[in-house]
Amino acid sequence: MIRDDIKAALITAMKARDERRTAAIRMIQAAVKNKDIEQRTAAKPIEDDVLVADVLTKMAKQRRESIEMYVAGNRPELADAERAELAVIEEFMPQRMSPAEAQDAVRSLVAELGAEGPKDMGRVMAAVKDRFAGQIDMSQASAMVKQALNP
């Protein structure tokens, strides 16, 4: 499980006295804990690895946006700090599928669900998010689902 990997990495970073890495891993744990608390009141609980992958994906996206803003604002030291955090976050993210693999996965999921047209877009996207969270970029998945549903 991803949570176990995060805990083990925190212990290793603390023993190595790597303050930046320790801080980044603690930040990841805090975000996951916040999502856990949020899920307590959710109508439909999310599977644990999907929840953690979703949190990591959002954190990575935030870091990439921050890096772009810091580079544009001529703040290289802040951009470097964000890059270091992003590197730690990406260590724990599930392996990304190649575009061809993602396309195949989406097509097989559409066939499995029996989706036939644009009206099934929401159902297919929900299934993609449940099964492939963190492995497929959801904006690209949306385009792939549209393509698969439109003859």
60 & 131 share domain: no
Domain boundary, last residue among 46, 77, 92: 92
pLDDT digits (tens, 9 = 90+) for 45-65: 777 888 888 899 899 999 999
Domain boundary, last residue among 92, 121, 139: 92
What percent of the chain shows pLDDT beyond 70?
A: 99
Q: What's the CA gap between 142 and 121, in Å, rounded? A: 8
CA proximity to 31, closest of 79, 89, 95: 89
| Res 5: pLDDT | 93
Estimate the crossing angle of helix 99-113 against helix 121-132, to 10 degrees.
120
110 & 78 share domain: no
Task: Supply the pTM of this predicted model.
Answer: 0.75
Residues 116 and 149 sit within 8 Å (Cβ to Cβ): yes
Neighbours of 139 (CB within 10 A): 7
Helix (H, G, I), strand (E, B) or coil at 43: coil
Average pLDDT for residues 18-27, to the nearest whole number? Answer: 96
pLDDT digits (tens, 9 = 90+) for 95-148: 888 888 888 888 888 888 888 888 888 888 888 887 887 788 777 888 888 888
Residues 103 and 144 sit within 8 Å (Cβ to Cβ): yes
Please give the mean pLDDT across all residues of the chain.
Answer: 89
What is the domain-level CATH number for residue 108? 1.10.10.410
Which of the four pLDDT bands, split at 50, 70 and 90, describes residue 151? low
Q: What is the domain extent for residue 61?
A: 2-92
66 & 118 share domain: no
| Res 68: pLDDT | 96
